[in-house]
Amino acid sequence: MRPVYVLNGPNLSRLGTREPDVYGAEDFSDLAALCRETGRELGLSVDVRQTDDEAEMVAWLHEAADGRVPVVLNPAAFTHYSYALRDAIAQRTAPLVEVHITNPATREEFRHTSVVAAVATGTIAGFGLRSYVLALHAIAESAQ
């Protein structure tokens, strides 16, 4: 099975309790289970991770680049300001799909700009947890 990292940034461990009217009632364990199950169906070995630490996220992206591992990335708040994350993504050696549970373009103005989108393979946003499913399908299809 082809390995894939599903990396999640700040506050995503709080899914289900953080603004459920915005992010839904499903929690992080539901997200991880959905990603792993989708991966199994697609022949992918999915490693789901979450961090609130920018340095840890950068290290994971370096690990993925060194191992040529595709990534599904929800950078969360890092999306809008982390040039360190952007530079790490620019070193990718496999597809990287940026995902968002909500559509940032329909939210507060500060969320409209992604500093990482230009170095990602593509972006999927606004489909709830299904954004991850769509991203995993894109990763699987890119391997064919």
Strand partners, 100: 125
Q: Determine which one of 23, 83, 132, 137 is catalytic.
A: 23
The reply to whether 49 sits in an annotated binding site is no
Q: Is 74 annotated as a binding residue?
A: yes
Please identify which of the residues 62, 100, 132, 137 carries the catalytic annotation: 100
Q: Annotation-wise, does 111 bind a ligand?
A: yes
Residue 100 a catalytic site member: yes
62 is in an annotated binding site: no
101 is in an annotated binding site: yes
What would the DSSP string read from start to end of 75-143? -GGGGGT-HHHHHHHTT-SS-EEEEESS-GGGS-GGGS--SSGGGSSEEEESSTTHHHHHHHHHHHHHT
Active site residue 112: no
3-class DSSP state of 68: coil
Catalytic residues: 23, 100
In the annotated binding site for substrate, the residues are 74, 80, 87, 101-102, 111
Annotated binding site: 74, 80, 87, 101-102, 111
